[in-house]
Structure 1
């Protein structure tokens, strides 16, 4: 389980922004078969994140083939490698947390969100401390150091909103970037006072005697959209029928991921998270929404503007794929 959803996804920002999300050097008629028909082949960026379970459940259940989409998963342990493949056209369907994705779009990339990946639920993301810590409440985090996977990304964005809800001042919290596998040790060594965790590390920390200070999916950030699937606008233009079929298939795959047994099964795949059965059965899971929700996504955009993380004036409705739109 040596993976970090937040830190790997954050690498998309630098890699895709640098490349400009340009096209690959394919043939004269991208998206077409040799006979001139629209291609139904879709190569998906697959990363070892819980949020992407819907994709793997869909593959396991044959949903994509049923919808006429020949989808294959291209596996990456590093999102930078995945983003390079996406930019070059080797991968058609990308995946990222919304903070990283919105920053990419803010930098000029012409992308559309074709399906939501996950929405946070209580217990998945949390700020935790050792049992002996004097920190008891959110307000107690003022003047303290808090470990996060990536600065100015998902965890600090959500915690800042929770801090404001509690009447605390985010400016009085010092965020420290710590690699996820080292987070527990950093707290125990006194390098930081508290840490933000995401499953399965939330459960692992609890198993080591850490207790909850605050859930990150509460108040302003309740039902918070965390990650989504995206494609290039030019890809949609070249393959309108395939794009529509892909959106339908992803929605059905997400629906099937509501069955916990199906999710636990795919989490144990050697090509996915390689999680053991005991851990897969114990951890909290995110929700897997069946369609993008503009109002929900707008909350992330608005919060990012509060934090000064976006420059552009776009709205959530501008970013969501609609067939024929």
Structure 2
């Protein structure tokens, strides 16, 4: 993708975030605190269960949510989830802030970029962490089996697919390139959905791709190779993503946020202790065939985010010029 194309896409992202801020401000200024995009009451059924909308990405990371639904953890907390999917966290942020969804799943870099630009978001509970094992993580930079690329340094001058630009994936790939002795400014990133990356690699549309499960297992089944573990290259036990809401919704509905957090923590703990069930639930919301289920590398699903790793991401964001001003982690993190 050309520099002009990247600039236009970045501009569109900021415009979407700006629109989200405008909608949220309008809602917050409404004379009735229970009206407007983020102040409105979510529908409650006869059983006292409140329906909340949650934006997710169709990847292994969010398996605990689907397991929690299946096991009734959200019903136990008088919640019903209405799930919608998006390509990446950067697209989910405006949806949450504008009130189209009450909660969302996003990588922490997108949340920090949003907050540093004045978008009112706050994390409510951890989402997913790296395994911390180089070469055996749930995400990595992959190439075709016949690719001449061997290490992250070889990505200089090459085209690398990431699910969305200006997020945790391009940030951590740059760190892998630095650690391998390369110049990250020479890497060309293009935006592509995870489930499209295996075909793009095999069709030589890109030189490499940063994938997570189940796309990682699909690429390996095609004979592809991992040349860098970008998450583990960045920080041990990296917190990759979190569940979040808007500051307006959190202020107006603390009880719902508390119930969502409690149910999600229970779901995370269950998924961490029942890996076979996490693998199995994945086939209900992704296209991965049953034959690859056993090949999946599961992430870790701790209930609490690793703040030190997020601070490292914030440092990298500033180094790469991702922020207009440093994000306020005390306000952002739960």
Q: In 2, are the aligned partners of 1:13 and 1:100 still within 8 Å (CA)?
A: no
Task: Tell me how far apart the structure 2 counterparts of residues 88 and 232 of structure 1 sit (CA, whole Å).
Answer: 9
Which moves more between the two structures, 307-316 or 72-81? Answer: 72-81
Instruction: Note the 1:237-276 alignment, pairs <5 A.
Output: 237-258=251-272, 259-269=274-284, 272-273=285-286, 275-276=288-289
Task: Tell me how far apart the structure 1 counterparts of residues 99 and 16 of structure 2 sit (CA, whole Å).
Answer: 14
Offset, 1:290: 0.6
Offset, 1:82: 5.6
Instruction: Note the 1:1-325 alignment, pairs <5 A.
Output: 15-20=16-21, 22=24, 28-29=33-34, 30=39, 41-47=50-56, 48-66=58-76, 68-77=77-86, 85-121=95-131, 122-178=136-192, 180-258=194-272, 259-269=274-284, 272-273=285-286, 275-321=288-334
Task: Tell me how far apart the structure 1 counterparts of residues 210 and 91 of structure 2 sit (CA, whole Å).
Answer: 26
TM-align CA RMSD: 3.1
Q: In 2, are the aligned partners of 1:162 and 1:220 still within 8 Å (CA)?
A: yes
Offset, 1:89: 2.9
Q: TM-score, normalised by structure 2?
A: 0.78
Q: In 2, are the aligned partners of 1:118 and 1:228 still within 8 Å (CA)?
A: yes
Aligned in 2, Cα 1:241/1:174: closer, same or farther, shift over 3 Å? closer
Which moves more between the two structures, 13-22 or 46-55? Answer: 13-22
SS of residue paired to 1:168:
coil
* Structure 1, unaligned runs of 5 or more: 1-10
SS of residue paired to 1:243:
helix
Which moves more between the two structures, 113-122 or 23-32? Answer: 23-32
Q: In 2, are the aligned partners of 1:116 and 1:292 still within 8 Å (CA)?
A: yes
Offset, 1:43: 0.6
Q: In 2, are the aligned partners of 1:264 and 1:277 still within 8 Å (CA)?
A: no
Aligned in 2, Cα 1:165/1:242: closer, same or farther, shift over 3 Å? same
Aligned in 2, Cα 1:279/1:113: closer, same or farther, shift over 3 Å? same
Aligned in 2, Cα 1:276/1:190: closer, same or farther, shift over 3 Å? closer
Report the equivalent of 1:8: none
Q: TM-score, normalised by structure 1?
A: 0.80
Q: In 1, are the aligned partners of 2:59 and 2:214 still within 8 Å (CA)?
A: no
Q: In 2, are the aligned partners of 1:115 and 1:290 still within 8 Å (CA)?
A: yes
Task: Tell me how far apart the structure 1 counterparts of residues 125 and 107 of structure 2 sit (CA, whole Å).
Answer: 12
Task: Tell me how far apart the structure 2 counterparts of residues 149 and 160 of structure 1 sit (CA, whole Å).
Answer: 15
* Structure 2, unaligned runs of 5 or more: 1-11
- Residue-by-residue CA offset, 1:263-321 (whole Å, 9 max, x unaligned): 1232132xx33544333332112211212332232222222111110122333222123
